[in-house]
Amino acid sequence: MTSCAGTPVCRALGACDFGGDPSWRKCTATEESCPTSLGCKMFGHCRLAESRCGGDHYDGGCRGAACKAGGLCGADSRDGTCYPTPAACKKASVCKRAGLCTSDEWDAHSTPVRCDATTKGCEDSEVCAIFGRCALERGACVATDCAASKVCREHGACTLAGGRCVRTAPSEGACELEEVTGLLASASTAQKTWKEYTFGAENLVDRDLGTSWQPEKGKGVGARAEIRLPVARRVAAVRIANGFQRRDGLGDLQAQNGMLGHALVRLTNDVYEVADLAYDRDPKRSYFGYSEVRLPPTETTTVTLEALSVIGGLVFDDLAVSEVRVFACRQGDTLR
């Protein structure tokens, strides 16, 4: 390596200077690079401290997008880690969206602390209004009555099963999964091609996390993508790569663009909730990957994904989804 400029570690962490000990040269941060890094925009790590970008621990520290979105507003003076506080969780978007409105005490040596659900948080949340998950049980928002939920009124998902509202109670049993190939995809809307970037629905099934489906600007909520199987199969799971999971010369495109918040997956005539697919967007580690949604085995030729809410990115509010993979019961396998 002869230069750090333009590398992922430069864009994400501000480590843009190739200097230091000649016997062990590595990328280090600079006063100029910290304010332009993803870590600054996400976590408020905008100041140089001991060759790395960090927050001002005497003035709130972590004040970036992760503070507003996930309540990660407290800064550990030992290593600059951002953690949630009860007051910050209450103000963060995860409180309104998913009822996660408080947190445990921070301990740098314990499992990473996250915002937790509260009784009032569940009652006032989007998962309550949309999915009927208004009651707090065992630390999670669950449904106890589906009648007032949006999925009941608009989609007929009025049957309570396992703390969720569905159209029909799922049958018991599981099966061994295998991935369905030969998928085709279409969508209600898509943005036009820009330079080398395409945004059509076909990107959802091209097995490439570096491409994405993006509905037209301002039309993310309510946008639908339909995945068609080559033959009818008993679909039992889908895996969704949320956001635009690509880093290139334009920077971290998942952090810059929006992603799914809440969604519905439709199999034949039934619908199933996909609640709060967002996950930590920490520039210090690789977070690209899939969220799996398990479903009752249902024979179908189509899987439809409908966006109910969109979580905006650092630069754009456009919805982006990189990939949808479909899994069915292995042919010949019986439920057990």
Q: How far apart are CA 141 and CA 160, in angstroms?
A: 14
Total domain count, the chain:
3
- Quick check: 264 pLDDT over 70? yes
Q: Domain end: 115, 139, 157, which one?
A: 115
- Quick check: 282 pLDDT over 70? no
In a domain, residue 12? The reply is yes
Q: Both 271 and 137 in a single domain?
A: no
Residues 251-281, buried b or exposed e (16+ Cβ, 10 A)? bbbbbbbbbbbbbbbbbeebbbbbbbbbeeb
Q: Both 134 and 104 in a single domain?
A: no
User: Residues, the chain, total?
Assistant: 336
Q: Both 222 and 188 in a single domain?
A: yes
Q: Domain end: 115, 132, 157, which one?
A: 115
State the pLDDT at residue 58.
Answer: 45
- Quick check: 2 pLDDT over 90? no
In a domain, residue 334? The reply is no
pTM exceeds cut of 0.85: no
Q: Both 85 and 149 in a single domain?
A: no
Q: Both 76 and 138 in a single domain?
A: no
User: In the chain, pLDDT over 70 holds for what percent of residues?
Assistant: 84
Q: How far apart are CA 298 and CA 205, in angstroms?
A: 20
pLDDT confidence tier of residue 286, bands split at 50, 70 and 90: very low
Q: Both 217 and 299 in a single domain?
A: yes
Q: Are 263 and 305 in contact (CB under 8 A)?
A: yes
In a domain, residue 171? The reply is no
SS3 19: strand
State the pLDDT at residue 69.
Answer: 82
Amino acid (1-letter code) at residue 250: L
In a domain, residue 156? The reply is yes
pLDDT confidence tier of residue 118, bands split at 50, 70 and 90: very high
In a domain, residue 72? The reply is yes
Q: Both 233 and 322 in a single domain?
A: yes
Q: Both 190 and 322 in a single domain?
A: yes
In a domain, residue 1? The reply is no
The pLDDT tens digits of the residues spanning 183-239 come to: 999 999 999 999 999 999 999 999 999 999 999 998 999 999 999 999 999 999 999
Residues 83-122, buried b or exposed e (16+ Cβ, 10 A)? bbbbebbbebbbbbbbbbbbbeeeeeeeeebbbbbbeebb
Q: How far apart are CA 173 and CA 176, in angstroms?
A: 11
In a domain, residue 95? The reply is yes
State the pLDDT at residue 78.
Answer: 59
Amino acid (1-letter code) at residue 185: A
260 φ, ψ to 5°? Answer: -65, 135
What tokens appear for 69 in the block? Answer: 């979105």
Q: Both 197 and 325 in a single domain?
A: yes
What tokens appear for 49 in the block? Answer: 């401290």
Q: What is the mean pLDDT of the chain?
A: 84
In a domain, residue 3? The reply is no
User: In the chain, pLDDT over 90 holds for what percent of residues?
Assistant: 45
Domain that holds residue 122: 118-166
Q: Both 323 and 181 in a single domain?
A: yes
Q: Both 208 and 148 in a single domain?
A: no
Q: Both 280 and 145 in a single domain?
A: no
CATH number at residue 206: 2.60.120.260
pLDDT mean over 29-54:
82
